[in-house]
Structure 1
Amino acid sequence: MSSKRIVIKLGTSTITAGSAKISYPGLIDLARQVSILRQMGYEVIIISSGAIAAGRQILAQKDLPRQIPAKQMLAAIGQSKLMGIYTQIFGMYDLIVGQVLLTKDDLLDRRRYLNARNTLNALLSYRVIPIINENDTVATEEIRFGDNDNLSALVTNVLEADLLVLLTDQDGLYTSDPRSDPQARMISEVATEHIPEDLWQAAGGSVSGLGTGGMHTKLSAADLARKSGATVFIANGNTPDIIIKIVNGAARGTKFLPSNSTLESRKRYMLAGVQASTGILYIDPGAEKAIKKGGSLLPVGLVKIAGSFERGDIVRVRSAKLQEIAIGITNYSSDDLERIQGKNSTLIEDIVGYSYGDEVIHHNNMMLV
């Protein structure tokens, strides 16, 4: 397959191998598979549950407390333990990992969304494997993702990943619960634009009791991720070489085909957002020519900025003849662009004190109209 950026979500039942403790053999095998993927040219992002399970293991607590502060306490204890394990095990394969903790607010607020995306892209550019988890120690019910399945789908969207792998303790999505119905049949592929209602009804809750998500949350995550152009695969995390098999097209599980292309998803976002946009960038003929050839918009090509907008907003791009030629997502606010318009990109940091890149609008975030 052609996927080059893969998000792997590990549920608690996978990390613990169904036990009450973190499974070192399981994580060693995961690191081995990730090492192989890296050698094959893939970028890998891991969404990891298990912080609370690690905290329970340290305190030798058999039962999961119901109170939120107690769960947050366990997460605070377990998160550092879990990251220590990842650092040690992945280091055996000369892989460097970096911890990223998120809450829903981080991906709903536009500025924090951009900061999270830039941080994750920076980690990947330095060949660091992001280990992402919900920030349980500070999250309240109002800012929780609720489960890491949902988080994995949002990260897939943020990073425009090609593939999301949801590893669980079942082989895939079944027509009914295989643990209670011997006639249950596994669904090998979902290719329709909308997930059929009978599959939603068939997806039950968490059975293992180890994590917060169940098959229904995985179905919701798959539905969200495929709308952003990703292929999604639900499979058993305890199957040998499961991730390698998925990449090679030889895995047992449930495959969800994208319902949109990544480009189409981005276009829809920009077209919807530009309706409320007041920002307009006027450019010189040289910049217009570069954009029409597929290039990015640089500050040297800016001649005028109209309207007030922030970094991450959608703006219109117009030529010297006042013709609208493109829309795009700006890397800089209107105030910053007033200061750097007409300047060489190498001067951005000297002028505004920081840099979000050489481009005013990167060509990946621009659409000709």
Structure 2
Amino acid sequence: MIGSVEVSLARKAVASATRVVVKVGSSSLTTAEGGLDPARLDALVDALAARRAAGSQIVLVSSGAIAAGLAPLGLTRRPKDLATQQAAASVGQLALAHAYGNSFGRYSLTVGQVLLTADDVVRRSHYRNAQRTFSRLLALGVVPVVNENDTVATEEIRFGDNDRLAALVAHLIGADALFLLSDVDALYDGDPRLAEARRITEVGGPDDVDGVRAGTGGALGTGGMASKLAAATLAASAGIPVLLAGSGDAARALGPTDVGTAFAATGSRLTARRFWLGYAADATGKLILDDGAVSAVVGRRRSLLAAGITAVEGAFEAGDVVELADTAGQVVARGVVAYDATELPGLIGRSSHELPAEQRREVVHADDLVALHRS
């Protein structure tokens, strides 16, 4: 049952989306021992192919490389050391790509592998290159299969449960909807294994998930409901509706969308650059703002001036992305700073007319600033 106009529109938007990102987790593709489960992978591809036949373009963000590499290497559990994780990813990624190629081949669909690292979404030049690659693949009728490049990216394995990556990719390609498929059938306000846990079928905004106690990852994956909730909230706040559902319900999730938890889009669609600024780029420092500056930056979308800054944290250079926080430390915006960290201490708290002419420029210009939703 759809409980509100907003949620109803969200499910309709997800059902009718013409460009979608679908993320699937390791536990949905592998056996308990760690090897790929061909039947489960084929069932997922069946649902994706049906959605494709209905007219949608699809980008699949798939976990499972490390898990798929465990059995061939004789490992019984996900390794904890980085080198063995990378070795498992090297073996498993090949097996995963081969399995997807064969499975999609049953529908005469061509797949292309896209391996991304954190660098590819936090560096502006890499971000634009990734956009062009996805655009061309989709124009050629290819189904891109995306995974994090766990084999070589040390930072990526810590970053990596693929849920946040899926949200970033959804915006990067201009997706109309994001599907998060896992081994849990919906969002619950507690551990779904407990009888008192309440199933949440519709999320119209942040207030609907207040008090949700989301768990972390299992034996084969690194994610968990906490990462899925964070990814869904991120995408929804950037104007992309989300459906969170069980991988076993993939056909219904990608069809009538009458399963799982629907997240209504709560924010407006940002340009690619503003989304990169707000959610993808690495922040190398933080500026603490007084209440007046927070009001100007967040409420009136004004540039940040030195007079509104009370403290500077971190080591950054002009042109870096920094976080802007209120007096309580909550991050309220992000933007490109116009000064080095070493230049700012002598400027903060001072009005423009008190500064030398060459230092009267904005610390963060409004065109280079993105206000974030405050919890």
> TM-score if structure 2 supplies the norm length?
0.66
Query: d(CA) in 1 for partners of 2:272 and 2:25?
Result: 32
The one-letter amino acid of 2:117's match is T
The one-letter amino acid of 1:249's match is T
1:174 to 182, 188, 213: 188
2:42 maps to 28
Asked if structure 1 preserves the Cα contact closer than 8 Å seen for 2:44 and 2:247, the reply is no
Asked if structure 1 preserves the Cα contact closer than 8 Å seen for 2:215 and 2:225, the reply is yes
Does the C-alpha gap of structure 1 residues 194 and 34 become closer, same or farther in structure 2, counting only changes over 3 Å? Answer: same
Post-superposition offset of 1:51: 0.6
2:372 maps to none
2:231 to 221, 236, 241: 221
Structural RMSD (CA)? 2.2
2:110 maps to 96
Structure 2, unaligned runs of 5 or more: 1-14, 279-375
Task: Describe the superposition over 1:334-361 as per-residue Cα deviations: whole angstroms up to 9, x where unpaired.
Answer: xxxxxxxxxxxxxxxxxxxxxxxxxxxx
2:274 maps to 269
1:279 maps to none
Q: Does 1:198 align with 2:211?
A: yes
Asked if structure 2 preserves the Cα contact closer than 8 Å seen for 1:160 and 1:228, the reply is no
Post-superposition offset of 1:68: 0.5
- Residues 58-69 of structure 1: matches in 2 within 5 Å? 58-69=72-83
Q: Does 1:183 align with 2:183?
A: no
Identical pairs, percent: 42
Does the C-alpha gap of structure 1 residues 20 and 125 become closer, same or farther in structure 2, counting only changes over 3 Å? Answer: same
The one-letter amino acid of 2:75's match is Q
Post-superposition offset of 1:266: 2.3
- Residues 1-369 of structure 1: matches in 2 within 5 Å? 1-16=15-30, 20-141=34-155, 145-179=159-193, 181-193=194-206, 196-199=209-212, 202-206=213-217, 208-239=218-249, 241-245=251-255, 248-251=256-259, 253-262=260-269, 265-266=270-271, 269=274
The one-letter amino acid of 1:151's match is L
**Greater relative contact order (Cα 8 A, min sep 6): structure 1 or 2?**
2
Secondary structure at the aligned position of 2:199 is classed as coil
Asked if structure 1 preserves the Cα contact closer than 8 Å seen for 2:77 and 2:219, the reply is no
Asked if structure 1 preserves the Cα contact closer than 8 Å seen for 2:78 and 2:219, the reply is no
Does the C-alpha gap of structure 1 residues 240 and 159 become closer, same or farther in structure 2, counting only changes over 3 Å? Answer: closer
Asked if structure 2 preserves the Cα contact closer than 8 Å seen for 1:12 and 1:50, the reply is yes
2:347 maps to none
The one-letter amino acid of 1:250's match is D
Secondary structure at the aligned position of 1:9 is classed as strand
Post-superposition offset of 1:2: 2.6
Post-superposition offset of 1:197: 3.0
Task: Describe the superposition over 1:31-52 as per-residue Cα deviations: whole angstroms up to 9, x where unpaired.
Answer: 2222211121100010011111
Task: Describe the superposition over 1:105-132 as per-residue Cα deviations: whole angstroms up to 9, x where unpaired.
Answer: 1111111100011101110011100000
The one-letter amino acid of 1:45's match is V
Secondary structure at the aligned position of 1:239 is classed as helix
Asked if structure 1 preserves the Cα contact closer than 8 Å seen for 2:171 and 2:272, the reply is no
Asked if structure 1 preserves the Cα contact closer than 8 Å seen for 2:181 and 2:250, the reply is no
Query: d(CA) in 2 for partners of 1:267 and 1:159?
Result: 9
The count of residues paired between Structure 1 and Structure 2 equals 264
Post-superposition offset of 1:163: 1.1
Post-superposition offset of 1:21: 2.0
Query: d(CA) in 2 for partners of 1:17 and 1:41?
Result: 32
Secondary structure at the aligned position of 1:226 is classed as helix
Secondary structure at the aligned position of 1:58 is classed as coil
Query: d(CA) in 1 for partners of 2:88 and 2:134?
Result: 26
Does the C-alpha gap of structure 1 residues 142 and 209 become closer, same or farther in structure 2, counting only changes over 3 Å? Answer: closer
Asked if structure 2 preserves the Cα contact closer than 8 Å seen for 1:103 and 1:143, the reply is no
Query: d(CA) in 2 for partners of 1:75 and 1:45?
Result: 21
Post-superposition offset of 1:141: 2.5
Secondary structure at the aligned position of 1:117 is classed as helix
Asked if structure 2 preserves the Cα contact closer than 8 Å seen for 1:236 and 1:242, the reply is no
The one-letter amino acid of 1:258's match is A
Does the C-alpha gap of structure 1 residues 134 and 189 become closer, same or farther in structure 2, counting only changes over 3 Å? Answer: same
Structure 1, unaligned runs of 5 or more: 274-369
Post-superposition offset of 1:27: 1.4
> TM-score if structure 1 supplies the norm length?
0.67
Post-superposition offset of 1:144: 5.1
The one-letter amino acid of 2:199's match is M
